[in-house]
Amino acid sequence: MKIVKLREGDTYTPETDWKRVSLAGSKQVSIEYFEKPPGHSSPMHCHPSEQVSIVLKGHMQVRTADGESAVLDHGDSAWFAPNEEHCIENVGEHGAIGIDIFTPARPFDFWKKKR
């Protein structure tokens, strides 16, 4: 067993006020906690891992490059296929919080490598 406390997990801020924390990781799966300020959107991107995003707080809009779109609220989730271009935006007036699950695992420094 391995315990990761949110306040002690490997953390980085890819952009101002966009926080990500690695909660778990192996070759098979990685789980990341994230916070997004109001109006923040990740850039349209893709990766070879499947992704499930779960909204814990706030309202987030998920979009794909082919035009699909939905607004997710507390407890809602979205699944993205491997290499499916997508982005996630906080469309609420307050900060939003979510969890991303990747399988196989996505490297935690994914955004750092994109720069």
| CATH number of domain containing 81 | 2.60.120.10
> Is residue 112, in this structure, part of any structural domain at all?
no
The string of pLDDT tens digits covering residues 8-60 is 999 998 888 899 999 998 899 999 999 999 999 999 999 999 999 999 999 99
Give the pLDDT score at 35.
96
> Is residue 13, in this structure, part of any structural domain at all?
no
> Is residue 72, in this structure, part of any structural domain at all?
yes
Q: Provide the domain count of the chain.
A: 1
> Is residue 68, in this structure, part of any structural domain at all?
yes
Residues 74 and 19 sit within 8 Å (Cβ to Cβ): no
> Is residue 61, in this structure, part of any structural domain at all?
yes
Q: How confident is residue 88, by pLDDT bands cut at 50, 70 and 90?
A: very high
**E-assigned strand segments in the chain:** 11-15, 18-25, 30-36, 50-57, 60-64, 69-72, 77-80, 86-90, 96-103
Residue with tokens 């979205």: 78
> Is residue 3, in this structure, part of any structural domain at all?
no
Q: Print the domain residue range for 57.
A: 23-106
> Is residue 14, in this structure, part of any structural domain at all?
no
> Is residue 43, in this structure, part of any structural domain at all?
yes
Mean pLDDT of 1-11: 92
Q: What SS3 state is found at 108?
A: coil
Q: How confident is residue 110, by pLDDT bands cut at 50, 70 and 90?
A: confident
